[in-house]
Amino acid sequence: MPRISLPSIALALAAVLAGCRSAPQSATTSAPDSRHDLDLRGDFKGPLGVQLYSVRDAIAKDVPGTLARVRALGFREVELAGTYGLSASQFRAELDRAGLRATSMHVGYERLRDSLPAVLDEARILGVQYMGTAWIPHNDGPLTEEGARRAVADFNAWGRSAQQQGLQFFYHVHGYEFQPGASGALPMDILMRETASDAVKFEMDVFWISRPGADPVSWLRKYPTRWRLLHLKDMKQGTPTNVNTGSANPDETEVPLGTGQIDYRGVLRTAREIGVEKYFVEDETREPFATMPLTVRWLETVRYSR
C-alpha cells in the first residue's frame, strides 16, 4: 500500500495502498480491558496476525485504544500500514504497551524508491521481519509486461538492500497482474521468474488473487518457495471474477472467512504444505471489530487435514 517525504507522515499515508482501495469503516475509540490469546484448536495453527489497515479509520483517531482492542481479540502479531502520525519509535512504544509485535510492514512504492535508507531504519526500530509493498504504480487496469519488468528491477534492488539489514522484502499481489500482455507473458509470472528468489518473496492476498479468476491453490503450488505471507479475507458468494483492476467495493464483495466462495480449506492446507510463515487477517468491511471475530472463530476450529 503512498507518496511522501516526512517519515512519520509517510508511513501513515502508506495505508492508502496497504491492502485495497475501499470504503471507510466506522471508527472505534474505546478499548476493552480484557485480553486473551487465540485458541487455535483446529487444523490451522497460524501464526495469525492482523493487518492494521483493517482498522485504519479507528487507529487514525485513537492509536492506543485501537491497538488495545486488536489485542483484546486475541492477536499478538500485526502487519503495519503506516504509523498514523507517530514516529517509528513512538509507534513501537504503543505496540509494546498493547502487547503487540509488528512482524511485517507495508510501505508505498515511491517511498521505497526515494527514501529506502529511512524506510530500512524505521523497519529496524519497529522490529519487523518482513518489509514490502502492495501496489505497483501503473495506469488504471491490468499491469503491463513493461510495468512488471520495471518493478522487477526495483524489487531486486530493494530486496538486496533489505537482506543486508537482516530483513526480507516482499510484494503483495493485488489482482492486476493476471492479464497476459502482447507477447502472451503473464505479468505475475514475470514478477516471479525475474526477481531474485532469495531477495524477493511474495504475499498472497487470497481475495485479490481470486478476483481476476486465478486459483490461489494452483499459484501456491506453482511457486512454493516464493509465497511466505498470506492475507486472509473471503469473497462473497456470487461476486464476479475476471476483474483485473485491483479494486473492489468491500460492502459488496467481502465477507468473514469461511462464509464466501473461496475454498479456504484448500488454501490453508496448501499454504501449510509449502511453508507459508505468516498469516494476516485483513478485514475491510465497515465494522471490522464486529466481523473480525467471526473470521477468528472460524480459523480457531476449522478442519481440513487429509
Q: Is 2 contained in some domain?
A: no
Looking up cell 502487519, which residue turns up?
79
pLDDT of 251 reads 85
* % of the chain residues with pLDDT over 90: 85
- Say if residue 22's pLDDT is above 60: no
Q: Is 139 contained in some domain?
A: yes
Looking up cell 530486496, which residue turns up?
159
Sequence-ordered list of residues with C-beta below 8 angstroms from that of 270, at least 6 positions apart, any chain: 217, 220, 221
CA distance 208 to 186: 16
Domains held by the chain: number: 1
* Cα–Cα separations (whole angstroms), residue 84 to 12, 56, 88, 212, 224: 4, 9, 10, 31, 35
* pLDDT tens string 255-295: 999 999 999 999 999 999 999 999 999 999 999 999 999 99
250-284: string of b/e by CB count within 10 Å (b at 16+)? beebbbbbbbbebbbeebbbbbeeeebbbbbbbbb
Residue type, 103: T
pLDDT of 305 reads 84
Q: Is 121 contained in some domain?
A: yes
Cell output for 276: 507459508
CA distance 170 to 160: 11
Q: Is 306 contained in some domain?
A: no
pLDDT of 35 reads 62
Q: Is 1 contained in some domain?
A: no
Determine the structural domain holding residue 86 and report its residue range: 7-301
What pTM was estimated for this model as a whole? 0.88
CATH classification at residue 13: 3.20.20.150
CA distance 286 to 59: 14
